Amino acid sequence: MTGKNRTFLQGLAFLVLLLSLSVVISPVTAQESPAPPSSRIPSADAETGFAPVLVQDGKPVVYFFFNTNCGECLKTLPFIEEFAASHPEVVVRYIDVRESDENLALFKAFKEYYGAGFVPVPSVFVGTVILSGTEDITGGLGDAVNGTLTTLPTPVPVSNIPEAAELTLPLVIAAALVDGINPCAFSVLIFLLVTIVSLESRRKMLAVGSVFICAVFTFYFLSGLGLFAVIQSAGISRFISVIAAIVAFAAGTISILSVFGRGNGQSILSIPESRKGVINRYIRKASIPGAFIVGILVGMFELPCTGGIYLAILSLLSNRMTAVEGIPYLLVYNFFFVLPLIVILGICTYGLPVERLEEWRTGSRKAVRVIMGAVMIFLGAILILEII
């Protein structure tokens, strides 16, 4: 693909980061809780344990946990407000988990009290029932309130929690594996291994290759964590989701067209030629410090090229959970992102000639571009469905 397309995507990615930082620097006043609590929210007691008020003055209490960064939460909020207005016999409490650390701690305390595991926002706790997700809340809140007794035992939840954990984790793993087969890191690792094989032992190759992979993992994890924190703290997950969807669609389409189009066939998923000289200078040193620097440089230079998948995953996670809850998913993503590199390093160190691997990489470039393009378009579609 032409240099203009690569420059366009790199500039778009840089613009996203720049706009995100500008929002963080400026005061954020628009993302206040849309509705105040109808009464005082109970808090956990360190000595007696957490005991939420489930019935107040003979009225069942509905706890609505949401996040103003969450598109599904914003779709559910009008229903909750209308329900509260039309049901004066019910006490509704609104808790924005992003508003304060206390609210986030309260959300976790509720999940522990009800014996629930993964419960994403939006969610409702009422009586013995947990409802999560717009569909379950709008369809089940009335029955849950009607079934609530004046005096309730310790909850044994009848939960309608969607399988968000099961659905999200496989998606994260699959996206990471596809992102991990990008030509950028592959070509650099193979070049690095070829250089080491010609100069040193396989033991040195294993050590230097491992440092390179650790550097790539570290850079990608910290970059993702930083961007996740920016999205959460600035309250711009919906804005970022729109940008991520555009980037994913654009990068995916261009990646596929680079194979089937009439261009010169060069992929945008590659390190710019102007940056390869810097990387090659450190590769030729064939040292552990040099390998770490190469890993960081590869992460820096390839992120604008292949970051479409990563940005899409970050946007999906930011819509469903807080930054703290997203850390395990980022760790999982980045482990599977570097897993193909780990496999390549192991194969080359203990058997397969590096030259054979380079032949396979060259022969499979078109298939990799098509797969990555299809995955980016798929993730872009998921993001669009999340925010509409």
32 in a structural domain? no
Mean pLDDT throughout 164-170? Answer: 61
| Judgement on whether residues 233 and 352 belong to the same structural domain of the protein | yes
Reported confidence tier of residue 277, pLDDT bands at 50, 70, 90? low
Question: Which of the listed residues 124, 139, 160 is the one where a domain comes to its end?
Answer: 160
Give me the pLDDT at residue 188, please. 64
31 in a structural domain? no
CA 144/CA 155 separation, integer angstroms: 13
| Judgement on whether residues 109 and 254 belong to the same structural domain of the protein | no
| Judgement on whether residues 98 and 212 belong to the same structural domain of the protein | no
Give me the pLDDT at residue 160, please. 46
Mean pLDDT throughout 236-245? Answer: 71
Give me the pLDDT at residue 23, please. 37
Give me the pLDDT at residue 238, please. 66
76 in a structural domain? yes
- Which pairing describes strands 91-96 and 129-132: parallel, antiparallel, or unpaired? unpaired
Q: What is the chain's alpha carbon radius of gyration, rounded to the nearest angstrom?
A: 25
37 in a structural domain? no
- 323-382 per-position pLDDT tens digit: 777 889 999 999 998 898 888 788 777 766 656 666 666 666 677 778 777 877 887 787
| Judgement on whether residues 144 and 178 belong to the same structural domain of the protein | no
The count of structural domains within the chain is: 2
pTM: 0.59
48-57, 112-121, 146-155, 163-172: which has the minimum mean pLDDT?
146-155
Reported confidence tier of residue 304, pLDDT bands at 50, 70, 90? low
Give me the pLDDT at residue 52, please. 82
Q: Per-residue pLDDT for 129 more than 60?
A: yes
CATH number, domain of 134, equals 3.40.30.10
Question: Which of the listed residues 160, 192, 218 is the one where a domain comes to its end?
Answer: 160
Give percent above pLDDT 70 in the chain.
60
| Judgement on whether residues 154 and 187 belong to the same structural domain of the protein | no
| Judgement on whether residues 271 and 122 belong to the same structural domain of the protein | no
The DSSP bridge partners found for residue 92 are 62
Reported confidence tier of residue 185, pLDDT bands at 50, 70, 90? low
- 84-116 per-position pLDDT tens digit: 999 999 999 999 987 777 888 888 888 888 887
CA 183/CA 369 separation, integer angstroms: 9
Higher pLDDT, 359 or 138: 138
Q: Where are the alpha helices (DSSP H) in 263-364?
A: 273-283, 288-320, 323-349, 354-363
Reported confidence tier of residue 9, pLDDT bands at 50, 70, 90? very low
Give me the pLDDT at residue 83, please. 94
Question: Which of the listed residues 160, 187, 203 is the one where a domain comes to its end?
Answer: 160
145 in a structural domain? yes
Q: Per-residue pLDDT for 239 more than 80?
A: no
Domain span including residue 239: 3-26+164-387
| Best CA proximity match to 9, nearest among 326, 337, 250 | 250
Q: Per-residue pLDDT for 7 more than 90?
A: no
Q: Per-residue pLDDT for 152 more than 70?
A: no
User: 20: Cβ–Cβ under 8 A, 6 or more apart, which residues?
Assistant: 227, 230, 231, 234, 236, 240
| Best CA proximity match to 62, nearest among 3, 144, 6 | 144
Q: How far apart are the first and last CA of the chain?
A: 32
188 in a structural domain? yes
304 in a structural domain? yes
| Judgement on whether residues 197 and 345 belong to the same structural domain of the protein | yes
Highest mean pLDDT (candidates 22-26, 45-49, 134-138): 134-138
- 13-38 per-position pLDDT tens digit: 444 444 443 433 333 333 333 443 33
194 in a structural domain? yes
| Judgement on whether residues 203 and 347 belong to the same structural domain of the protein | yes
Reported confidence tier of residue 47, pLDDT bands at 50, 70, 90? very low
User: 183: Cβ–Cβ under 8 A, 6 or more apart, which residues?
Assistant: 267, 269, 270, 361, 365, 368
CA 203/CA 37 separation, integer angstroms: 62
CA 79/CA 67 separation, integer angstroms: 15
Give me the pLDDT at residue 148, please. 62
